[in-house]
Amino acid sequence: MTAAFKFNDLHYNIDLTDPIDVSIPLRFDGPQPRAFGVGMATAEELGDTREDSSVNFERYTLVPHCNGTHTECVGHITHNRISVRSCLQDAFMHAVLLSVEPESETTDSYSAGSEAGDRLITCGALEQALSSTTKEASSGQSGLPLVLIVRTLPNDEAKLTADYGDGNISPYFTTEAMRLIVDSGFMHLLVDMPSIDRLFDGGHLSNHRIFWNIEAGSFEVNEKTRIGSTITEMIYVPNEVPDGEYLLNLQIAPFESDAAPSRPILFEFK
C-alpha cells in the first residue's frame, strides 16, 4: 500500500507495508536496557492458563524514564505536572535520521561540565551530517524535517540491553549542538542514548532546558517554552537503515504523565 504525503509544499510517496520499528522491545523476563541505577522492569504473574487460570494477566512495574524506549515532555523538568499525552499532537511527522560519531576532544562546551573521556555530540558533527543528508539544511527553508533522529556510532545491538548504571558511559550533546537543534526548527528529538544530557550532571539538565526553552535552574514554563516538543530516548536504529528522510509515526502509551513508553515507527520516502 502506497500513500502520498505533502510536507512544506514538497510531495512524497511512502510504502506503508514496510514499517521500521526503532523502539527497543521491553522483555520483562530477559535482558533489558535500563539507566540511572533503577531496578529492572518486572512482571508479576496474577493469572496463568498453564496453571488452571482462565486467562493470562500480569502486573507490570517499570520506570518509563529508565526502562526502555520512552517519550517525555517539558513536564519532566517543571513544577507544573504537564502530560506528554497533551503535548504530543503530531501523529505523522517528517523526520531526518543522522549517524554521528561522538568526540572526546572538542572546542564545544557543556554548561554542567565535562570530564576526560566523555563522548560528546558536537555542533560541527551535526552540521556536517545535516548538510549531507537533508535537501535544505538551514532553518525555515522548505523541506526541513520537523524531527531529528540521532544514531550514535559505533552502533551495535549492545544498546538493546545496555545497563547505564553509575558510570557516564553514554554520549551526550554539547551546548552548541543542542542550540543548533533548536535554532534549526526541530520540534521533536529521538536519540539512542538514555539522556540528551550527561547522565550524572548534578541535576542541571541543561540540554533539556535548552530544548524546551526553560531558563537555567528554573522549573517554570514561560511564553517561549516549546510545549509541543518532545524528546524520545533509548531507541535503537539498526545499521541497515540508511541515513535520510522518513515519515515518523510516534506512538506513545496514553499515560497522563510527563513520560510514557513509546514506539517510533519509520516509513521510507519513495
Whole-number pLDDT of residue 128: 94
Whole-number pLDDT of residue 14: 85
Please state, in angstroms and rounded to a whole number, the distance separating the CA atoms of residues 225 and 114. 26
Whole-number pLDDT of residue 141: 41
pLDDT tens track for 200-226: 899 999 999 999 999 999 999 999 999
Whole-number pLDDT of residue 169: 77
Whole-number pLDDT of residue 8: 65
Whole-number pLDDT of residue 135: 55
- Distances from the Cα of 116 to the Cα of 104, 119, 169, angstroms: 8, 9, 12
Amino acid at 262: S
Tens-of-pLDDT digits for all 270 residues of the chain?
Answer: 788 877 667 777 888 888 999 999 999 999 999 999 999 999 999 999 999 999 999 999 999 999 999 999 999 999 999 999 999 998 889 999 999 999 999 999 998 888 888 999 999 999 999 988 875 433 334 455 699 999 999 999 999 999 998 665 799 999 999 999 999 999 999 999 999 999 989 999 999 999 999 999 999 999 999 999 999 999 999 999 999 999 999 999 999 999 999 999 999 987
> Where do we find the cell 549517524?
99
Whole-number pLDDT of residue 236: 98
Question: Nearest Cα to 169, choosing from 232, 115, 118, 114?
Answer: 118
- Distances from the Cα of 14 to the Cα of 21, 98, 130, 143, 147, angstroms: 15, 19, 22, 16, 17
Burial class (CB in 10 A: 0-12, 13-18, 19+), 33: buried
Hey, where are the domains in the chain?
2-23+72-268
- Distances from the Cα of 246 to the Cα of 91, 97, 172, 267, angstroms: 14, 8, 24, 6
Whole-number pLDDT of residue 251: 97
Q: Of the CATH numbers 3.50.30.50, 3.90.1150.10, 2.40.50.140, 3.40.190.10, which one belongs to the domain with range 2-23+72-268?
A: 3.50.30.50
Question: Nearest Cα to 169, choosing from 143, 146, 193, 186?
Answer: 193
Contacts (Cβ under 8 Å, ≥6 apart) of 16: 1, 2, 3, 267
